[in-house]
Amino acid sequence: DVKVTQSSRYLVKRTGEKVFLECVQDMDHENMFWYRQDPGLGLRLIYFSYDVKMKEKGDIPEGYSVSREKKERFSLILESASTNQTSMYLCASYPRGAENIQYFGAGTRLSVL
C-alpha cells in the first residue's frame, strides 16, 4: 500500500514563527503536492513538485515556500506564520506517467495564534 506520512497531526504556532510541515512518501513517486483545506473553500493547491529540486506554484502560493531535496520528501515552509494560515494542510503524491490518482496523507491541522 502507498503510504504518505505527514510528520505532525496537530501543530500550534505563534504569529511570525517559521513553520515546517514535512511529508514523506514511500512509493518512489515523482509528483508531490501540498494543499490546504478550509470549510467552504475545498482543497486549494499551494505548490507542487514533479521531481527532485523542481517546484511549481499552485493557485495560492503567497506566504509559502517548498523544498524537495530528496524524492521521497516534500516540505512546506511558512516563512512567517500568520493567523490566516490556520488550516488543514494535506500532502499528496502520484507516480509520473500514471493516472492522476493522488494518494493523500492524513493531514496536519495547523493553528496560528
Partner 1 sequence: EDQVTQSPEALRLQEGESSSLNCSYTVSGLRGLFWYRQDPGKGPEFLFTLYSAGEEKEKERLKATLTKKESFLHITAPKPEDSATYLCAVQRDYGGATNKLIFGTGTLLAVQP
Binding-site ranges for partner 1 (CB under 8 A): 4, 31, 35, 40-45, 48, 50, 56, 58, 90, 92, 99-107
Q: Which is nearer to partner 1, 62 or 101 (CB)?
A: 101
| Shortest distance in whole angstroms from residue 15 CB to partner 1 | 26
| Shortest distance in whole angstroms from residue 97 CB to partner 1 | 10
Sheet holding 4-6, edge to edge: 4-6, 19-25, 73-78, 64-70
Q: Which is nearer to partner 1, 15 or 52 (CB)?
A: 52
| Shortest distance in whole angstroms from residue 28 CB to partner 1 | 17
Q: Which is nearer to partner 1, 43 or 77 (CB)?
A: 43
Using H for helix, E for strand and C for coil, what is the string for 26-62?
A: CCCCCEEEEEEEECCCEEEEEEEEEECCEEEECCCCC
Report in angstroms the alpha-carbon separations of 99 from 24, 25, 72.
20, 17, 19
